[in-house]
Amino acid sequence: MNALEQRLTNLFTDNQLRMTAPRMAVFRVLANAEDALPLADIASAIKGDRATIYRTLDLFISLGVVQRVVTGFKHRYELAAPFHSHHHHIHCEVCDKVISFDSRSLEALIQRIAEQKGVHLHTHTLELAGCCDDCQNRGNIDKIKH
């Protein structure tokens, strides 16, 4: 068991929850993913019951283990802090790809804005949408879904 899995197991123990094989399987898929995953990708990787996967994701969200990444009318799932470093996303509106990024200067700007507005920032998300390089190179920029 690696450190992330141990952290999850400890969280479950602290909350008097059982760690089941399907729950750990969902966690491992998300822990090994490079980007946020749609439910279909999680389900195909586990080859499990979708209802169990939905319940597991809902439980993980309520525990702060997983966060939803909203892209248009769809959403994807990824590990949340402290299981994954804080970052933001760019969504290609043509091919539906989600690109993760982080930026210290952007985080500093967000913090300054919050302070200027008198807000003690607890959390935030930033989602950008556009057309990725691959789609632009294929001449698909005019196919952005509005």
Domain(s) of CATH 1.10.10.10: residues in the chain: 1-84
Four-CA torsion 51, 55, 60, 63, nearest 10 degrees: 180
Confidence (pTM): 0.77
pLDDT surpassing 90 at residue 13: yes
Q: Give the β-pairing of 88-92 and 98-101.
A: antiparallel
Mean pLDDT, range 18-37, rounded to an integer = 94
Q: Is residue 29 very low, low, confident or very high in pLDDT (cuts 50, 70, 90)?
A: very high
Domain(s) of CATH 3.30.1490.190: residues in the chain: 85-146
CATH of the structural domain 1-84, one choice from 3.40.1410.10, 3.20.80.10, 2.60.40.10, 1.10.10.10: 1.10.10.10
Longest dimension (CA), the chain: 53
| Fold of the domain spanning 85-146 | Dna Ligase; domain 1 (3.30.1490)
- pLDDT, tens digit (0-9, with 9 covering 90-100), for 35-81: 899 999 999 999 878 899 999 999 999 999 999 988 777 889 999 98
- pLDDT, tens digit (0-9, with 9 covering 90-100), for 86-126: 888 888 888 888 888 888 999 899 999 999 999 998 878 88
